[in-house]
Structure 1
């Protein structure tokens, strides 16, 4: 090899090394100054974007009437405004029945009569409702979206440890008429209820607690939960059952612990109990863990009832239910006082 060729090769090697070092340095400089971009990309890849799920929901345009369960009122208050922000052309209108009180049963009846696009229910569909839909040429589907519990409200002055489900049933059949019979004071029991045909909660109570037995003659029927809770607050011997979010956070009534056995009483609120004199600055909260694990003895699911007719009504109902099952929808369900289902 000639000295000239050796000099050329050395020069090429030096030049190559300089270029390589320059490229490596440039890469390190870029990484150091753009680490935020890399982190951002990593986060986006490892954590699904809520908008992605929302965009996959098939949402129709138009005005859609819906109705049903009064238990759903706190959910409607939280959820509907958010849905309207996401899809301004998907307009929702809650519709009361023309006769009778609003409730799960009347909502399903209105759905069967083509007065609603979909309905909300605090109980499962009945066989006769499935049959009526079939007779009208379509099917009904119930989509569970949340967990709720039935809470028992009594007057704050009443001092008893709680009730078993058997004692609760005996109170509403009229077998137990004095609080002294359940380790309380000598005081007449006044049970309140909504009528069976007016609400999913009373229908659920009838099927799951009463077991088909009729209410006692001492039961007083009140059209709304708001009125019934006022009665209990003013009557030291009063008792009423309702959706847990409607009872647990109240300032004027006390929720009772319930159990299948007297030594298995579970509270519907997070313990320790917050004294009612601290309300409304501090309110008792739902015992979500006990509801999710079915430790609390009266829990149920809340449903969106969808009309399976391959038309825009079906699309509207499925869109509503599917969005409630997204992470954002489930968070709003918790905010409304209920328990997430997923």
Structure 2
């Protein structure tokens, strides 16, 4: 069945710029349109039409970055008009194609699906050292001792620190999963620690040792620059939002740079951020589970949409687990990582959901 689904994906990819026909796909595969549609959704957790929409929009961002005319891009990807393309683009990314073209902001990647790739399919395929060296050539001041790099997780922190990838600057990890469990309006204070520790079923002491103490340089030293290294998936983006909200809460006055990257391809997109609205977004989204009222980077806008969907009882991940609960847990975990790369959950988050459903 996996080979069958991959054949469908390959056919869709070859026809992305043509008008999609479910009947055409069904004729190619030799099955009914309903069967193709059902099996695709069952295996990938997304409908065929949604997959095509997201792939077309993601590929169109490269055309926008190359300053092609928006009307030409719209027709290339089979939209009836520039207006129809712009409406759909804004619904997914939170900004218009023109705004994206002018500002070149990071978006969440939506790569071609590969069903059950090998063990190393989601590993970095470019060395961090090579990419960081390219960053150094563009912005050398971010490698000095008045810079703090905040990295998403202990593993990334240890690699950056041990290899001194960012030169003489300081490094701290953010070892959290802000996309799950309750949080508080005040960030990193005692109530925050109590609430987050309880959510993770840890003692306050253990939580502080793991999350708060490693951030000590952020709390006690002054830096002219802070560089945030967070992936583009929902897990990382909710962590990023928390750090940005804390910087506003603590009235940080220096410059902030966000280095966005995809977990399976360490290609960095660097953006300088302006603080001002992230704390209110943190309150709206992570505290109250409401849609944000401020404009955001497209990659964060997309992640928030996913986060809010994951708060619903019958979200796509729950549905997928329910349909595949007959599988061994190890196989189900593997599939969840492959099918939902934009969510970014780790083993513990998925295992908790699997245990609830099985």
Normalised-by-shorter TM-score class: under 0.3
What is the TM-score when the length of structure 2 is the normalising length?
Answer: 0.23
The structure having more radius of gyration, on CA atoms, is 1
Query: Which structure carries more relative contact order (alpha carbon 8 Å, separation 6+)?
Result: 1
Q: Which has the higher helix share?
A: 2
